[in-house]
Amino acid sequence: VTLHLNPISSVHIHQKPLVFLLNSPLPLVWKLKTERLAPGIRRVFFVSLGSVVQFEKGNFSLSAETEEKVFPEKNEHLLQWAQKEYGAVTSFTELKISRNIYIKVGE
């Protein structure tokens, strides 16, 4: 699955930390494609067991962290867990089948 990350239109270059929970019932390879995200900013990708994140060429991967995590099974429980763990959830998306996911990040 390719994860496309771009800032919202009102933000020229996104310069804040990000945390992603990438959960799947089966192990996946998450391919990351980014545009206009500032280098050197901490970005964390938690993935379900057996999954990996592949970064594009460049220095984005130098400031990104990937960690395998056991997530709650049901989406409602995952959302509650994320809210408790991080205090807020700005976006939650559930897809049954997808090769590309487009996410706008911003304030």
Its domain, for residue 71, covers: 1-103
Distance of CA 28 to the CA centre of its chain: 13
How far apart, in whole angstroms, are the C-alpha atoms of residue 38 and residue 106? 12
When divided into structural domains, the chain yields a total of 1
How far apart, in whole angstroms, are the C-alpha atoms of residue 19 and residue 3? 14
Mean pLDDT per segment of 10 residues, for the chain of length 107 residues? 94 92 95 91 95 83 89 92 90 91 88
pTM: 0.90
